[in-house]
């Protein structure tokens, strides 16, 4: 029950901070300034949370399903010649001990898998940002 209340609160807060950010305009193709990159962090957090919510569905195998997640606020940025990567650190609470810890993270005594890391890239389609890719490295 406690995790459900936490999930509802996180969803409400996440929506309030992220919903208005969906319509941010993409400027000058792939040339994104440092300020624009910082401005995109809340969008990355919201979009990545939406991806994690898909893993909460009952249609997901119990060995891959999660029942809660926490995305850390300290999103880092890595820019190379090809793309700009937003490095997202997050924790998940698996639905089962059968959960496969592929891609890193540390299982804690309370069942959480903490400090997982994913590299997220964005793309702008019709002026709105979407996730272009999620990977375990650049």
Calpha distance 69→75 (Å, rounded): 15
Q: For residue 86, what are the β-bridge partners?
A: 77, 120
- 15-45 per-position pLDDT tens digit: 444 433 333 333 344 455 666 777 899 999 9
Q: What is the pLDDT of residue 35?
A: 67
Specify whether the CB–CB gap between 66 and 93 falls below 8 A: yes
pTM of the model as a whole: 0.73
The 10 Å CB-count burial string (b at 16+, else e) for 55-88 is ebeeeeeeeebbebbbbeeebeeeeeeebbbbbb
38 DSSP 8-state letter: H
Sequence ranges of the domains in the chain: 2-7+31-135
């Amino acid at each position: 029950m406690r995790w459900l209340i936490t999930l509802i609160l996180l969803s409400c807060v996440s929506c309030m901070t992220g919903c208005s950010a969906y319509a941010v305009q993409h400027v000058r193709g792939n040339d994104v300034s440092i300020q624009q990159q910082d401005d995109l962090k809340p969008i990355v957090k919201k979009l990545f949370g939406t991806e994690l919510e898909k893993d909460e569905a009952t249609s997901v195998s119990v060995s891959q399903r999660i029942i809660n997640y926490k995305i850390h606020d300290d999103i880092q940025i890595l820019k190379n010649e090809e793309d700009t990567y937003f490095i997202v650190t997050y924790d998940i609470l698996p639905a089962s001990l059968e959960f496969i810890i592929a891609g890193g993270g540390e299982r804690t005594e309370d069942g959480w898998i903490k400090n997982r890391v994913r590299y997220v890239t964005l793309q702008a389609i019709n002026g709105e940002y979407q996730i272009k890719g999620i990977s375990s490295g650049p």
